[in-house]
Structure 1
Amino acid sequence: MIPYGRQHIDQSDIDAVIAVLKSDFITQGPVVPQFEKAVSSYCGTTYATAVNSATSALHLACLALEINSNDVVWTSPITFVASTNCVLYCGAAIDFVDIDPDTYNISIPALKAKLQEAYTNGVLPKAVIAVHLAGQSCEMAELKELSLQYDFRIIEDASHALGGVYRGSQVGSCVHSDITVFSFHPVKMITTGEGGMLLTNNQSLAEKIELLRSHGVTRDAKKMKQAPDGPWYYEQIDLGFNYRMTDFQAALGLSQLKRLNQFVSARQEIANVYEALLKNSGFKTPKVNEDICSSFHLYIVRIDTSKLNHVSVFERCRTRGIGVNLHYIPVYRHPYYRNLGFDFQKFPESESYYREAISLPIYPGLKKEQIEYVVDCLLSPMGHQTLF
């Protein structure tokens, strides 16, 4: 089976984890802050907080921005449900903005129209979660301008986009946002097994995130509500969570980070091969804007449904050992979200995408002959049966 994505682990990664397992600290020791500092330095941000998953990171981002039951947050429907569940965890309402037909990220024209209507009705969002689908950044400068005009906060869900570049800055620099979230799931750019990270340039947000990551407990006397009873003393000053990352996870991430640029280059080379092989094939290949460098977490093509059957293409690929996938089912289509009453017709581009999209295998180590095999499977005439 050729999966759509997989981790790349070498001996240096294994050695890094073993070293921590043999050390005095295996939970939150010295390697976690080393990993945080390395990622923040790579991205050009001031603060970074490692956590046990990107889902936890999204939840903490919403909490740090004080999103609550009085608020509504907007995002793209073409994302994994973690991007929306984090809002519901805070008791807030979620709504969607349709996608751009070429990049599949949140549509700036659709967002502008929705904001104008919301302003008229007095129901502007508290925040917008910008999902960088497949590794390509959203149009962050335009989004930032709108946030200043309509007074909302911005969370970058960059789970797919570590190593990507937007207008000369690394994704994660937070030049145009309050907080950026990364994922370190095995199929992402680098992995810690499970894990995530929040980046920000705002000190108060960083302190809030760090507090909530570990039960809302502090050992900093300056933050305590009363004088310490003794050197053992700590206080819970907020309702937090156990969202900590372990030291051996951080060791793996720190080791992997050294090869991040290699991983991204490998993915871009694979994307170029697909692009060349699928040219003029009838499959729509990804469009990357000129001012953006995509990290290509995913390679998404769209089929011409007037000529091919979406389900049949999937079934044929999987029968031949190719683990194609679909990223993603529009969130509003899931039964839990259907019950919230979303109208599918308000998201025509997302619906069109869902009828046509296929994620092809892309990961470091994927061989050219495997790419050719995938493309051959896509381009082979579909079998048929005539009835006489």
Structure 2
Amino acid sequence: MIPYGRQDITQADIDLVVDVLKSDFLTQGPMVPRFEQAVAGHVGARHAVAVNSATAALHIACLALGLGPGDWLWTSPNTFVASANCALYCGAQVDFVDIDPRTYNMSPQALERKLVQAEREGRLPKVVVPVHLCGQPCDMAAIAALAKRYGFKVVEDASHAIGGKYKGEFIGSGRYSDITVFSFHPVKIITTAEGGMALTNDPALADKMALLRSHGITRDPAAMTEAPHGPWYYQQIELGFNYRMTELQAALGVSQMTRLDEYVARRHALARRYDRLLADLPLATPWQHEDGYSGLHLYVIRLRQGGRSHAAVFDALRASGIGVNLHYIPVHTQPYYQRMGFKPGDFPEAERYYAEAISLPMYPTMTEAQQDEVVAALRKALDA
């Protein structure tokens, strides 16, 4: 089976992790801040907070921005459920903004229309979470302009997008948002096995997220309500969580970061080759906006109407040993969200995307022979 994604673990990665195993620190030590500095320095952000998953990063980002009961968070329906669930963890309510049919990201035009109506109804969002699906950046300049006009905060869900750029700057720089979140799951662009990170240029937000990731506990005397009882003393000043990243994970991330640009460049080479090989088939290949340089976590095709059914093509590819996948089932159609009142038909562009999309295998160590095998299987699946 050729998987849709695969991590690349080198001897250098292994060696650095082994060094940590032989060190005095396995959970919290010097490697976590080293990884934070590596990512922040690469993308041009001032602060980074490493955690054990991107879901955790989204959660503490929302909490740091003050999201809570009575508030609204809006996100894309075309994403993994974590982009919406983070609001529910905070006691807030969720709504969605339909996608642009070319980028598959949150549509700024749909967002503006929804904001106009929400302002009339007195239910403007406190936080908006645009999702850089497949690694392609959203139209962040337009979203940031709307944030300024309507007073909401922006959290970029860049789980797919580390190494990508928007208007010449790395995603994560924070120019157009309050916080950016990355994921380091094994199928993502770089991996820490599991893990995530929240980046911001606001020191107060960074401090709040760092506090929340570790039980809300501080050892900083300046943040305490009384003088320390001794060098052992700490205080819990917030209700936090055990969201810490380990030294082992951070070591893997530090090593992987040295190959980030190489990985993204290889993904672009594979994507260009797919574009050529698939040009004559009855499907749409990914469209790339001129303002963006995608991280290309995923290569998604959309089947054209009139051919074999979506499910039949998907099943035929799996039967041929091609580990295709589908990203994503629209969140508002999930049973949990339907119990909140959402229903099919609410966000038609996201639903049309779901009915046609298939994620083809793409990862840095993929060979051209493997790619040819994918294309041959797809041709056969479409012709059968």
Using structure 1 for the length normalisation, give the TM-score.
0.98
SS in 1 for 2:222: helix
1:238 is paired with a residue of what secondary structure?
coil
1:160-309 alignment runs, 5 A limit = 160-309=160-309
Partner of 1:156: 156
How far did 1:382 drift? 5.0
| Runs of 4 or more consecutive aligned structure 1 residues displaced over 6 Å after TM superposition | none
1:8 counterpart residue number: 8
Q: CA deviation at 1:231?
A: 1.5
Q: Is the 8 A contact 2:165 2:171 kept in 1?
A: yes
C-alpha displacement at 1:280, in angstroms? 3.0
Residue 331 of structure 2 aligns with which residue? 331
- Relative to structure 1, is the Cα distance of residues 383 and 101 closer, same or farther in structure 2, using a 3 angstrom cutoff? closer
Query: Does the Cα contact within 8 Å between 2:317 and 2:381 map onto a contact in 1?
Result: no
Q: 1:314 is aligned with what amino acid?
A: F
For 1:315, the equivalent position in structure 2 comes to 315
Instruction: Indicate how the Cα distance of structure 1 residues 133 and 381 shifts in structure 2: closer, same or farther if over 3 A, else same.
Output: closer
Q: Deviations over 1:149-197 (max 9, x none)?
A: 0000000000000000000110000100000000000001110000000
Q: What secondary structure is seen at the aligned counterpart in 2 of 1:55?
A: helix
CA gap of 1:382–1:126, structure 2 versus 1, over 3 A, is closer
How far residue 383 of structure 1 moved from its aligned partner, in angstroms, is 6.8
Report the CA distance between 1:381 and its aligned residue.
Answer: 6.0
CA distance in 1, matches of 2:28, 2:366: 34
Structure 1 residue 346, shift from structure 2 partner: 2.5
Contact 2:316 2:381 in 1 (8 A): no
Q: Tell me the residue number matched to 1:31.
A: 31
1:45-68 deviation line (CA, Å, top 9, x unaligned): 100010001010000001000100
Q: Distance between the aligned counterparts of 1:326 and 1:382, measured in 2?
A: 17
Q: For structure 2, list consecutive stretches of 5 or more residues without a partner in the other structure.
A: none
> 1:248 Cα deviation (Å)?
1.0
Q: Do the aligned residues in 1 keep the contact of 2:307 with 2:382 (CA within 8 Å)?
A: no
> More displaced, 341-350 or 6-15?
341-350
2:108 alignment counterpart:
108
Distance in 2 separating the partners of 1:207 and 1:334: 35
Give per-residue Cα distances to partners, 1:86-125, cap 9 Å, x unaligned.
1100010000000000000001111110011111111100
Select between 276-285 and 97-106 the one with higher mean Cα deviation.
276-285
Corresponding residue of 2:357 = 357
2:322/2:374 contact within 8 Å kept: yes
What does the per-residue CA deviation read over 1:231-268, in whole Å, with 9 as the maximum and x for residues that have no partner? 21110000000100011110000000000011001111
- Check whether the contact 2:77–2:330 (CA below 8 A) recurs between aligned residues: yes
**For this pair of structures, how many residues does the alignment match?**
384
Q: Deviations over 1:255-302 (max 9, x none)?
A: 000000110011111100100011131210001101110011000000
2:153 maps to amino acid: R
Amino acid at match of 1:182: F
Match in the other structure for 1:120: 120
2:59 corresponds to 1:59: yes
Partner of 1:372: 372
CA 1:333–1:261: 2 relative to 1, 3 Å:
same
DSSP 3-state at the match of 1:332: helix
Q: What amino acid is the match of 2:216?
A: G
Contact 2:164 2:294 in 1 (8 A): yes
- Give the partner amino acid of 2:169: S
**3-state SS of 2:233 partner:** coil
Q: Which residue of 1 aligns with 2:129?
A: 129
Deviations 1:284-322 (A, max 9, x none): 000110111001100000001311210000110000000
How much is the aligned-residue C-alpha RMSD, in angstroms? 0.9
Matched, 1:97 2:97: yes
CA drift of 1:334 comes to 1.1
- Residues 2-54 of structure 1 deviation map (CA, whole Å, 9 limit, x = unaligned): 00001000100000000000000011100100000010000101000100010
CA contact (8 A) 2:313 2:381 kept: no
Distance 1:187 1:124 in 2: 35
Amino acid at match of 1:163: G
What is the CA distance between 1:344 and its match in structure 2? 2.4
